[in-house]
Amino acid sequence: MDCIFCKIIKGEIPSKKVFENEDMLIFCDINPQATIHYLAVPKVHFANVVEMTDEQATIVGRMLKKIGELADSLGLQNGFRLVSNKGENACQSVEHLHIHILGGEKLSEKMG
Ligand code: DGP
């Protein structure tokens, strides 16, 4: 499958990894939109929350819990924003579910 994030997970494309476990990889976004901008990506491939099975939703639940546990060590002790784009209106550009983790500064009140 020709998926950039699957290739990053397999190590075929380099990335700045900040965390990895059996469920996910967290790495730095190549085009940061905040002082800190990570992507949390499940190791199993699915496109977005609409395509997600119940089992995959359980993985995403564990991912969110772990992101919360890691927040301080990732430099996010003053807060952070999680975003997961789906589809054209949200400008999703990579068809492998990913959670943007944004922080390291005061973020805009506007999200759209
Ligand atoms: P989205 O628009 O929600 O699909 O965000 C996709 C993000 O993925 C975007 O912020 C840029 C990032 N990205 C795309 N290709 C690469 C890559 O090869 N390496 C890294 N680190 N990030 C990438």
Q: Which helix (H) or strand (E) holds 7?
A: helix 4-10
pLDDT range class, residue 6, cuts 50, 70, 90: very high
99 Cβ contact list (under 8 Å, min separation 6) = 39, 40, 41, 60, 63, 64, 67, 82, 83, 84
Output phi, psi for 58, to 5 deg: -65, -40
Evaluate if residue 1 carries a pLDDT over 80. no
Q: How many CA atoms lie within 13 A of 12 on its CB side?
A: 8
Evaluate if residue 75 carries a pLDDT over 80. yes
More confident residue, 112 or 43: 43
What confidence tens digit (pLDDT) does each residue in 19-68 have?
A: 999 999 999 999 999 999 999 999 999 999 999 999 999 999 999 999 99
**Structure token digits, residue 31:** 């085009």
Question: Which residues' Cβ are closer than 6 Å to ligand 1?
Answer: 4, 13, 15, 27-31, 39, 85, 91-94
Catalytic residue from among 37, 96, 98, 100: 98
